[in-house]
Chains A and B, each alone.
Chain A
């Protein structure tokens, strides 16, 4: 077992973990952040995307021990009293149906807009290539990211 200290959604956690424990399982089963789901085993689907020190990572492809000392933001910590503009845009554009990909999609979109505050449609599509959705056909996800960009998420 290895001792790690991780800040998750603003709260500091200190835990003993198996070195092989995936970050997503640490978040879900140790910290209880079940808002971040698991969709695949191969880091293709992106459902488990969280921000680690501000960068989006697929938490199924990060070991909990690699997150030692990091600041992790999950979908549960994104809203700050009120919905984050990307969350609001997903709601307003009907960019989710079953909602399973949504936490990862929102986190990936948030990171995308930090890198590129005013993306073109093509840049949005390319930027979200690592996040799969089976319900929406992506049309409204793209619209939502555009709307969030127009709302000035990135400032």
Chain B
């Protein structure tokens, strides 16, 4: 089924400049950190300098005598009310979910965990007074390596041990697939720990008035947060309002119920004044949840012609010290993506979630799917190499052909649409694939110092999170629907309320385009409201590339309801039968009599006046709709990367990068292209630059942007992007684009580096592929060849 749109598609597909920009380019923004309330006090947290320690004494009295200090608290002061930060995804019945107090009371389990707080009249005074708090610790041994954390003699993070869960999935006869397979390859890949680094640090303001609290937070999930504050911290839901003002990026890192949010609410109640906390970058790197951090063992069985028989995946996933909102579920989002676009007879997956004394991991752009895509696309290149088959050819022999859609994969997912042939063909032309292969051959023949490598990533992903029933079957604690409301104002202008709270995605523009088409009102006449639970009472918020594929469809449903109501009133106004009316471009007209018509704006005004409504018709055109998808959406594409690798220095330069993405029908190509660019950059960052590093004592070494290398414009290439379009099976035909670039690009870059170094015998470089690591990978092969006497 493809998109069915009754009104002319004047806006869909149009590269509208964004409505959001006007305030952002002039500094007229409302970041949480801008909020100032009368009497507002500032919080500063004292944080654990130990990765693991007993807290034997906390004395905050010294802070109380410091200038400007109003109060100071330790974890014990919240013991009766702070409960435990929630984990919404208990992936197995026997999962270990340790208590996670927002402020540590007896024991700290990662560097940066909050142990005390100062409340002062300004942020400088609050920070100064931290030095006057005494904490006695009894250090305990840290647990830092998930590969040894399950050994019997390993120190324990929690009394229950270091294993949180083991989750398995299998389909087909895996033993049979591997038995007698002519080719079996096994590889181990490292998904390093990443730090999300949204440009806006977190910030929180909490204000109590009577028994009602308003929490402003730089969050992606105001609705989930409101629910959590009520369900887990005992504040009646009707008394909680959460506002996400302008939010400066998330990438999953603000998909969280954080200690600081909960504590700000509790502290605000204790001190009876509004309180504010804003994080420093160092605090952020230490205490905003991290991403990735897996060891992957992947094993593939194939025939000599390259046909995949089976795939086996065994993951160790670092949970960090606690399970946060969706920590244990992130690897599961990857579980279904290792088979990717390929057909096979059998598949098995196992993931073991392991505790360490580090910051918890959780969703970070792509969440599970980049990890899976990396492993499968890396091993496809290895398989191609070992069979002597051209790597694109190997992929084509295995991928689902365009005529085979809808196709149910070995994981049981039904991919509704796609055309891998078309995306790949387009990418090859744009990239000059054959030309670059020829150049590579010549440079290898010449023995150039700087080698050319070509990396391929023919990826897909599952997004549009998510069908509620599927989430339920995976033990997720909530649904995946989204809501939208339309308010038809008397003057014919429109307010659109969405439950999907944007933080850079451009909802205000894209949603206006959709509504303009559906209702036939001018783009400029539409205002989109979001991010405040009092304005937008229902929603599941923004993550997992879900806003358009779920929230956008809810929006179309809400528009339908407006048109249906308006039609009844228009029929009365025109003294015609409803059946004789047609609605097009914002006008109801009598079939065969185009002169007899009323605009939707005229109907809105007549509804407001309500002087002549038909009997039983409510004087309102407003509508409310929710949409729960019956499937995920499956964007796909072919990304090609050419790297030049200096074999003497290990320096990698990306010479060209081509991305052809199929994200279904496009509402706004400008926004889509921007999402692809940013996604690619984040994936390249994992491949080449970024790694969250802890030392042997469990101290985070990459606490600043000087140590944690978020790439600049000078570190990244220009990207060539194009699209193919196979519509998804929802009413708009849309799939989602927020994570595609990040999922696709990491393996494309690393495949290109390894491809450049294959003549040297290099078969892998561990990410991030820094010059040193690339250089060492070459040296390691050469020295082993020398010692082994190889040619």
Which A residues are closer than 8 A to B by beta carbons?
A: 18, 20-21, 28-29, 33-42, 44-45, 47, 74-76, 78-79, 83, 87, 90-92, 94, 96-103, 106, 121, 124-126, 128-142
A136: nearest residue on chain B (CB-CB)? B678
- Interface bits B10-52 vs A (CB < 8 Å: 1, else 0): 0000000110111011111101011010000000000000000
A100 and B282: CB pair below 8 A?
Answer: no
A137 and B680: CB pair below 8 A?
Answer: yes
A137 and B26: CB pair below 8 A?
Answer: no
B34 and A34: CB pair below 8 A?
Answer: yes
Q: In the complex, A106 Cα to B281 Cα: how many Å?
A: 22
Nearest CB in chain B: distance from A42 CB, A:
4
Q: Say what secondary structure dominates the interface of chain A.
A: loop
Chain A residues closer than 8 Å to B201, beta-carbon distance? 38-40
Most chain B Cβ neighbours within 10 Å, of A40, A92, A140 = A40
Whether a CB of chain A sits under 8 angstroms from the CB of B382 is no
B506 and A35: CB pair below 8 A?
Answer: no
Q: In the complex, A96 Cα to B26 Cα: how many Å?
A: 12
B674 and A140: CB pair below 8 A?
Answer: yes
A91 and B718: CB pair below 8 A?
Answer: no
Q: In the complex, A92 Cα to B15 Cα: how many Å?
A: 10
Most chain A Cβ neighbours within 10 Å, of B21, B36, B675, B713 = B713
B679: nearest residue on chain A (CB-CB)? A137
Chain B residues closer than 8 Å to A125, beta-carbon distance? 712-714, 716
Given contacts A37-B248, A99-B25, A125-B714, could you give 19 more A-B pairs where the C-beta distance is less than 8 Å?
A: A37-B29, A38-B201, A40-B704, A40-B705, A79-B26, A83-B25, A91-B22, A98-B247, A126-B713, A129-B713, A136-B677, A136-B681, A137-B677, A137-B681, A137-B716, A138-B713, A138-B716, A140-B674, A140-B677
- Checking B21, B124, B712, B713 against A99 with a beta-carbon cut-off of 8 angstroms, the contacting residue is B21
Nearest CB in chain B: distance from A50 CB, A:
10
A91 and B674: CB pair below 8 A?
Answer: no
B674 and A138: CB pair below 8 A?
Answer: no
Chain A residues closer than 8 Å to B34, beta-carbon distance? 28, 34
- Checking A99, A139, A141 against B20 with a beta-carbon cut-off of 8 angstroms, the contacting residue is A99
Nearest CB in chain A: distance from B81 CB, A:
31
Which B residues are closer than 8 A to A by beta carbons?
A: 17-18, 20-22, 24-29, 31, 33-34, 36, 124, 197-201, 246-249, 251, 280-282, 503-506, 670-671, 673-675, 677-682, 704-706, 710, 712-714, 716, 718-719, 741
Most chain A Cβ neighbours within 10 Å, of B199, B504, B674, B675 = B199
A135 and B714: CB pair below 8 A?
Answer: no
Q: In the complex, A101 Cα to B249 Cα: how many Å?
A: 10
B681 and A138: CB pair below 8 A?
Answer: yes
Q: In the complex, A126 Cα to B713 Cα: how many Å?
A: 7
A44 and B33: CB pair below 8 A?
Answer: no
B719 and A97: CB pair below 8 A?
Answer: no
Q: In the complex, A101 Cα to B201 Cα: how many Å?
A: 12
Q: In the complex, A40 Cα to B677 Cα: how many Å?
A: 23
In the assembled complex, 9 residue pairs joining A and B whose CB atoms fall closer than 8 Å, in A order, are A35-B27, A41-B704, A94-B673, A97-B674, A100-B248, A102-B25, A135-B249, A137-B677, A142-B713
Q: In the complex, A68 Cα to B383 Cα: how many Å?
A: 65
B504 and A98: CB pair below 8 A?
Answer: yes
Chain B residues closer than 8 Å to A45, beta-carbon distance? 199, 281, 705, 710
A137 and B719: CB pair below 8 A?
Answer: yes
Q: In the complex, A139 Cα to B680 Cα: how many Å?
A: 11
Q: In the complex, A13 Cα to B199 Cα: how many Å?
A: 29
A97 and B280: CB pair below 8 A?
Answer: no
A75 and B280: CB pair below 8 A?
Answer: no
Nearest CB in chain B: distance from A79 CB, A:
6
Chain B residues closer than 8 Å to A103, beta-carbon distance? 27
Nearest CB in chain B: distance from A132 CB, A:
5
A134 and B199: CB pair below 8 A?
Answer: yes
B705 and A135: CB pair below 8 A?
Answer: no
Nearest CB in chain B: distance from A7 CB, A:
17
Chain A residues closer than 8 Å to B705, beta-carbon distance? 40, 42, 44-45, 132
A91 and B17: CB pair below 8 A?
Answer: yes
Chain A residues closer than 8 Å to B716, beta-carbon distance? 125, 137-138
Q: In the complex, A132 Cα to B706 Cα: how many Å?
A: 11
- Checking B20, B26, B710 against A76 with a beta-carbon cut-off of 8 angstroms, the contacting residue is B26
- Checking A34, A76, A130, A134 against B197 with a beta-carbon cut-off of 8 angstroms, the contacting residue is A134
Q: In the complex, A142 Cα to B248 Cα: how many Å?
A: 20
- Checking A79, A96, A124 against B21 with a beta-carbon cut-off of 8 angstroms, the contacting residue is A96
B710 and A134: CB pair below 8 A?
Answer: yes
Q: In the complex, A128 Cα to B711 Cα: how many Å?
A: 11
Q: In the complex, A50 Cα to B714 Cα: how many Å?
A: 21
A44: nearest residue on chain B (CB-CB)? B705
Nearest CB in chain A: distance from B377 CB, A:
20
Nearest CB in chain A: distance from B550 CB, A:
20
Chain B residues closer than 8 Å to A136, beta-carbon distance? 674, 677-678, 681
A141 and B18: CB pair below 8 A?
Answer: no
A134 and B17: CB pair below 8 A?
Answer: no
B27 and A97: CB pair below 8 A?
Answer: no
A134 and B678: CB pair below 8 A?
Answer: yes
A132 and B712: CB pair below 8 A?
Answer: yes
Chain B residues closer than 8 Å to A90, beta-carbon distance? 21, 25
A76: nearest residue on chain B (CB-CB)? B27
Q: In the complex, A80 Cα to B281 Cα: how many Å?
A: 33
Q: In the complex, A72 Cα to B475 Cα: how many Å?
A: 55
Most chain A Cβ neighbours within 10 Å, of B21, B22, B704, B714 = B21
Closest 9 CB pairs of A and B: A35-B27, A100-B248, A98-B504, A99-B24, A137-B681, A44-B705, A137-B677, A75-B27, A97-B504
